[in-house]
Amino acid sequence: MKSTMMDVPLLIPEIVERARNFFAEREIVSLVAGKNEQGQPVAQTHRTTYGEVAGRALRLARALTAAGVQPGARVATLAVNSYRHLEAYLGVPSMGGVLHTVNIRLHPDQVCWIINDAEDQVLLIENLFAGMIPTIQAGCPSVKKIVVLGPLPVPIEGVDDYDTWIMQHEPQTRYPEIQETDAAGMCYTSGTTGNPKAVTYSHRSTILHSLASAPKDALNVGQSDAVLPIVPMFHVNAWGLPYTCSLYGAKLVFAGAFSDGPTLAKLMQDEQVTITAGVPTIWMGLLAELDRAREAGAPYRLPLERLVVGGSAAPEALIRAFWERHQLKLAQAWGMTETHPLGTVSVLPPDVGFGSDEGFTLAAKQGVAVPTVQLELLSDDGELLPHDGKTMGRLIARGPWIAGSYFKGTGQSNFLDIGGQQWFDTGDIATLDARGFMHIQDRAKDLIKSGGEWISSVDLENALMAHPTVLQAAVIAMPDPKWDERPLAVLVLRPGAPQPSHAELTEFLAPKFAKWWLPDAYEVVEAIPIGATGKFLKRELRDQFSEKVAGGTAVR
């Protein structure tokens, strides 16, 4: 029997209308790059409101339509986190377009490859990256209009100024016919193997993801919050926060091109930020600044309720340090481009206190699936594995905001049919326990297989980062004639820290791991290469050190 309920489509215009009507006065604060009296670059604060941003977003929608952009066409952004980028988030889907957020940290050739693959028709580009315009004009024939966000010192031929352009158009007054399953957003995967693949988010998946992201046991976003997404808006929609905050009316704070600890700490204090989100390296920088300020006798006063950490595993030592030194709670979240991204959040059950040992152990796991996301583990033979907290398997996911295919049908092998149900193979290796806590052990390609058994590089890295001399650790597999692969730990030491001996590190790790898990060798480097989305580039490390191993240099 069919229900008697209405079938109302879930559309991004709902977010725009709520922001415009209910939260018109709520503030949106952005740091923009300016110059001081001496001409040096400094962060300046720009203030606006949801009312103004929604109005300008609807001008953008009208301007795009007037430029001949049809529903379904892709509109790219190459932009930092700011109110103008938010206008694109709201405005492009409002005229039926697809917002394609391009990663600004990629090489210009990769940017062109992605723009060409997506067949983007319009590009909104931050003035900071204007140097890339000639390459795009020459190499991306689908782009028929380039618009610059922010002032340009010298006008560029054939390029519009965003503020002037949108103000030439009245706000759009009627939304076009949009289906909830139509594409609204587009993101490319990090592409650590082969060419990047694109996922397109629908209006429906965006609304459901926003609804599910806000509750207390997810990201904890409400109208009384001030939210600073440090995670870039070009990376999986800044974990959906621009949409979630606009839907619920939370004040949004954007750090623009700034991500250093002192600027972030000051911004959090000035704007009374209650929720913030970023990758572990960002929190390491913030922690150093909070420590410095406290030692200098002028600690920051931060009303932070939740620091969401994700994108790669948050070491337990980092979670402990924030709590024990500053009484701040890090909450780990896991997800990926293909999962919109919110998959799990590590919120503790009521019987486990945050500051307890068990609390830290659980907080260092990736957490429990948010409602309607399902997770399972698969063996190499395609069998479902137990949720016993010990058995490692390939993590597969299913849900209303999980990708069911890639743009243009690439990467089909990542999508599985299990008993007639569609599942997405995440490529992560994980355990699940009886309470639903998921614990990432590795990317499938980063896992170390020694003597036929798996060693989790993530676990070793987290443990090593708790050593007093170690700032960063990346553990990689090295070919081994006897065991197939053995772990090598690459370390960056804390400034001024003495180099720990092999024996000292082995002794430090020994109580926590089986003997055969312990790294065979340690290498100290100045810096670990980091990719465009803030993750360690283990492939580069493997290349760097495999030559050493092949050449017979003793790294043991």
Q: Which residues bind ligand AMP (CB under 6 A)?
A: 189-190, 236, 310-313, 332-337, 341, 366, 426, 428, 440, 443, 533
User: Least separation, in Å, of the C-beta of 192 and ligand AMP?
Assistant: 8
In whole angstroms, the minimum distance from the beta carbon of 99 to ligand AMP comes to 17
Task: Name which of 430 and 509 has its Cβ closer to ligand AMP.
Answer: 430
Is 180 a residue of the active site?
Answer: no
Q: Rounded to the nearest whole angstrom, what is the least distance from the CB of residue 367 to ligand AMP in the complex?
A: 8
254: three-class secondary structure by DSSP: strand
* Catalytic option among 338, 401, 431, 538: 338
**Position closest to ligand AMP via CB:** 336
Q: How far is the CB of 516 from ligand AMP (least distance, A)?
A: 23
Q: Note if 274 is an active site residue.
A: no
Report which of 317, 148, 336 is spatially closest to residue 231, judged by C-alpha positions: 336
Least distance between ligand AMP and beta carbon 396 (Å):
12
CA distances from 399 to 10, 72, 459, 474 (A): 16, 24, 28, 32
Burial class from Cβ neighbours inside 10 Å (0-12, 13-18, 19+) for residue 30 reads buried
Phi, psi of 122 (to 5 degrees): -130, 145
Distance CA(537)–CA(525), nearest Å, equals 14
Q: What are phi and psi of 27, to 5 degrees?
A: -85, 150
* Angle between helix 502-509 and 457-464 (nearest 10): 110
Q: Smaller CB distance to ligand AMP: residue 285 or 335? A: 335
Catalytic residue among 65, 189, 337, 431: 189
189 catalytic, yes or no? yes
**Which residues, in sequence order, are CB contacts of 1 under 8 Å at separation 6+?**
none
Which DSSP letter does residue 390 get?
A: S
Q: How far is CA 13 from CA 54, 91, 94, in A?
A: 10, 9, 6
13 vs 367 by CB, closer to ligand AMP: 367
The candidate with the shortest Cα–Cα distance to 505, out of 555, 467, 477, 541, is 467
Q: Is 444 exposed, middle or buried (0-12, 13-18, 19+ CB in 10 A)?
A: middle
| Catalytic residue of the set 17, 281, 376, 454 | 454
CB 315 within 8 A of CB 466: yes
The secondary structure of 98-143 as a DSSP string is EEEE--TTS-HHHHHHHHHHHT-SEEEEEGGGGGGHHHHHHH-TT-
Q: At 486, which amino acid appears?
A: R
CB of 394 to ligand AMP, least distance (A): 11
Q: Where are the alpha helices (DSSP H) in 347-386?
A: 357-363
Q: At 15, list the tokens.
A: 């977010």
Give 79 or 236: the residue with its C-beta nearer to ligand AMP. Answer: 236
Least separation, in Å, of the C-beta of 398 and ligand AMP?
Answer: 15
Q: Which is nearer to ligand AMP, 237 or 450 (CB)?
A: 237
| 3-class secondary structure, 261 | helix
User: In the complex with ligand AMP, which residue's Cβ is closer, 13 or 335?
Assistant: 335
Q: Which is nearer to ligand AMP, 121 or 533 (CB)?
A: 533
Cβ 531 to ligand AMP shortest distance, Å: 9
- Lookup: tokens for 321: 């340090």
Q: Is 533 considered catalytic here?
A: no
Q: Which residues are catalytic?
A: 189, 338, 449, 454
